[in-house]
DNA sequence: CGTCTAATTGAACGAGATCAAGACAAGTGG
DNA sequence: CCACTTGTCTTGATCTCGTTCAATTAGACG
């Protein structure tokens, strides 16, 4: 909710409708696939706590993570219009999930046009984040990819109150990081060392410490515009 | 319309509403930026004819194309919920465009829930295509990226009746191709030569000829699942 | 015909991958 | 409480795919 409210007003009635739409809650351990590609879905999943990834695998075992999800993200709101996903979704850490049936969402599209537009917005925010990923893996250097991802996560976690004071929890492996950036874990390790040595940031023990926010942004060529942080009537 | 109708029924009334929403038409020459990042928008653009790209540039002049658009695609339906884009959109060939004001779209979200869901679907189809691009530039080899893009374009153009008989028009440069695949034009040229020599496909004079569809798919590890071609009530 | 951009090819280079091995931490079972 | 997995992190050595640099050819267009 905090994520939506940053971008537009959310009336009390709308908040009530949204809360009423949620059905059961669930806890899932780390490393579990929670949504498989190609399976027809009849509910959407909201991540309440933990860290989750959307990814695809190639035949030779290589994995590419499309997007890292943090608390407050809908993992598969895309499945409401699409009816199924073409990629997998899995937990990177133990997570808590809440489910929203497609029926309830359909009712929202019938009765709540403004709320519908906000949910639509939320799916397109994913798309914008994923486009930035295309730019990263397509054209940025290895060190810039990692720096950029860290800037992105700092802002996104800050929005939901999970970052601040130039630090945040990131309880994932360097392998996950490599799969997100389109690199090998060996090279990620070397680049993290370089970022540490140059005094830009440290990633250790599941925590990120940013030592020089300005320089980190410079290395990454980071601009938060793609996160559409502006508050507007939508 | 043909693109939407493949995925779900579109009633006559809905078709009428959609057609009525369109305002003026426009012709644009090749190589023109038609939408700039960060500019507030109050209309959406539908591509009627030609080829258009969404892209971002880095400071050193490198370009990354996020998605190639073909006739029938909304170029920036994303801008309706987002209100502005975070990337540029430009023509690769001379193109014809039709505009739809955001007001008209807002009215559709108020009165036409089913049509709204179809438009929502259309934006998420872009997102799915873009996710496949992440996988390509992140993990596929150069030759697989090109082969995959060709498979994708063949299917997408076929849907709107612009491909068939294992051939289609692709009036773009090898530079555009390189910017789409996250490669240099020099390397694209070499890989095209290899694809030609191995009897998989030819790209010459703005036309693609596919000589061995099966092998081309194998090289690309292509599966059309990400294009969500299934027809379903949405 | 000149001009401009795109396509093509060769040679040298380099960012990141691959291969390999050791260090370290966290279970897990006896 | 300790031996034994198992998985991640770390570092070094070597390799390779794709880049960079450079030069030539081919087309398109006024």
Task: Please give the model's pTM, rounded to 2 decimal places.
Answer: 0.95
pLDDT at B8: 77
Q: Mean pLDDT throughout A23-34?
A: 91
* pLDDT confidence bin for B1, thresholds 50/70/90: low
Distance B113 CA to D17 C1' (A): 50
Mean pLDDT rounded to a whole number for chain B: 94
Protein-proximal positions, strand C, CB < 7 A? 5-11, 15-20
The average pLDDT across A175-199 equals: 97
The predicted pLDDT at position A155 comes to 97
| Cα dihedral sign, B31-B32-B38-B41 | negative
Task: Please check whether residue A43 is in contact with residue A23, taking contact to mean a CB–CB distance below 8 angstroms.
Answer: yes
Q: How many CB pairs under 8 A join A and B?
A: 149
pLDDT, one tens digit per residue, over B103-123 is 999 999 999 999 999 999 999
- Cβ of B63 within 8 Å of Cβ of A139? The answer is yes
Q: Could you give the C-alpha distances from B166 to A29, B153, B169, B192, B207, in angstroms and in order?
A: 47, 11, 11, 17, 11
**Quick one: closest CA in A to B61, which residue?**
A139
Q: What's the mean per-residue pLDDT of chain A?
A: 94
| Residue A2 reports pLDDT greater than 90 | no
Is A21 within 8 Å of A110 (Cβ atoms)?
A: no
How many helices (H) and strands (E) are present in chain B, helices listed first?
Answer: 9, 11
Q: Tell me which residue in A59, A86, A230 faces B128 most closely, judged by beta carbons.
A: A86
pLDDT of residue A56: 97
Q: How many residues comprise chain B?
A: 234
Q: Which residue has its C-alpha nearest to nucleotide D19's C1'? A: B184
**Residue A78 near chain B (CB below 8 Å):** yes
Asked if the Cβ–Cβ distance from A117 to B135 is below 8 Å, we say no
Decide if B98 contacts B28 (C-beta within 8 A).
no
Cβ B45 vs Cβ B33: under 8 Å: no
Higher pLDDT, A141 or A234: A141
Which among B83, B118, B128 has CB closest to A234? B83
Average pLDDT over residues B16-28: 89
> What are the tens digits of pLDDT across the range A83-118?
999 999 999 999 999 999 999 999 999 999 999 999
Of A58, A123, A228, the CB nearest to B124: A123
In chain D, which nucleotides are within 7 Å of a protein Cβ?
7-13, 17-22, 28
Asked if the Cβ–Cβ distance from A124 to B81 is below 8 Å, we say: yes
Does nucleic acid strand D have an atom less than 7 angstroms from the CB of B142?
yes
Give the pLDDT band of residue A1 (cuts 50, 70, 90): low
Predicted local distance difference test score (pLDDT) of residue A8: 77
Q: Is the pLDDT of residue A233 over 90?
A: no
Contact A123 B126 (CB under 8 A): no
> What is the reported pLDDT for B189?
97
Q: What pLDDT does B37 receive?
A: 96
> How far apart are alpha carbons B148 and B219 in whole angstroms?
8
DSSP string, A68-117: EE-TT-BSSTTHHHHSS-SSEEEESS-EEEEEEEHHHHHHHHHH-HHHHH
Residue with tokens 């872009």: B126
Out of A84, A113, A234, closest to residue B110 by CB:
A113
**Quick one: pLDDT band at residue A23, thresholds 50, 70, 90?**
confident
Scan residues 100-159 of A and list those with Cβ closer than 8 Å to B. Answer: 106, 109-110, 113, 116-118, 120-121, 123-128, 130-135, 137-140
A134:B59 CB<8 A = no
CA A175 to C1' D4 (Å) is 25
Distance CA B169, CA A60 (A): 33
Over residues A74-79, mean pLDDT:
95
**CA–CA dist A58, A41 (Å, integer):** 23
Residue B229 pLDDT more than 90? yes
- How distant, in Å, are the alpha carbons of A76, B184, B227 from that of A222? 26, 23, 31
Cβ–Cβ gap A120/B123 under 8 Å: yes
Structure tokens at B28: 């644009």
Q: What integer pLDDT is reported at residue B54 of this predicted model?
A: 97
Sheet holding A43-49, edge to edge: A25-28, A95-101, A43-49
Q: What tens digit of pLDDT does each residue of B88-104 get? A: 999 999 999 999 999 99
Q: What is the pLDDT of residue A59?
A: 94
Residue A4 confidence (pLDDT) above 80: no
Summarize pLDDT for B154-212 with one digit per residue, the tens.
999 999 999 999 999 999 999 999 999 999 999 999 999 999 999 999 999 899 999 99
Q: Residue B130: closest CA among chain A residues belongs to which residue?
A: A131
Residues 184-203 of B with CB under 8 A from A: none
Candidates A74, A120, A229: best to mutate against B (most CBs of B within 10 A) is A120
* Three-state SS at A11: coil
Cβ–Cβ below 8 Å for B131 and A56: yes
Q: What DSSP designation does B163 have?
A: E
Which tens digits make up the pLDDT trace of B124-141? Answer: 999 999 999 999 999 999
pLDDT exceeds cutoff 70 at B5? yes
Q: What is the pLDDT of residues B39-94, one digit of tens each?
A: 999 999 999 999 999 999 999 999 999 999 999 999 999 999 999 999 999 999 99
* Residue B18 CB coordination number (10 Å): 21
Question: Quick one: pLDDT at residue B146?
Answer: 98
Is residue B231 a contact partner of residue B118, using CB atoms and an 8 Å limit?
A: no
């Amino acid at each position: 909710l905090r994520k939506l409210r940053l971008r537009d007003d959310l009336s009390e009635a709308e908040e009530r409708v949204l809360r009423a739409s949620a059905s059961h809650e669930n806890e899932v351990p780390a490393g579990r696939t929670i949504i498989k590609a190609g399976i027809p879905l009849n509910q959407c999943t909201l991540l309440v706590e933990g860290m989750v990834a959307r990814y695809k695998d190639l035949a030779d075992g290589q994995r590419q993570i499309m997007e890292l999800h943090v608390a407050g993200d809908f993992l598969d709101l895309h499945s409401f219009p699409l009816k199924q996903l073409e990629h997998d979704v899995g937990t990177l850490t133990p997570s808590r999930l809440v489910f929203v049936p497609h029926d309830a969402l359909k009712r929202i599209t019938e009765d709540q046009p403004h709320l519908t537009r906000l949910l639509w917005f939320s799916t397109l925010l994913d798309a914008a984040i994923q486009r930035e990923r295309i730019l990263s893996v397509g054209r940025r250097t290895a060190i810039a990819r990692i720096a950029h991802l860290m800037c992105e996560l700092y802002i996104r976690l800050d929005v939901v109150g999970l970052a601040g004071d130039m630090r945040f929890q990131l309880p994932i492996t360097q392998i996950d990081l490599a799969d997100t950036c389109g690199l090998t874990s060996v090279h990620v390790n070397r680049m993290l060392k370089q970022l540490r040595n140059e005094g830009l940031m440290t990633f250790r023990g599941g925590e990120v410490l940013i030592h020089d926010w300005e320089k980190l942004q410079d290395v990454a060529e980071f601009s938060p515009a793609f996160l559409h942080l502006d508050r507007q009537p939508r």
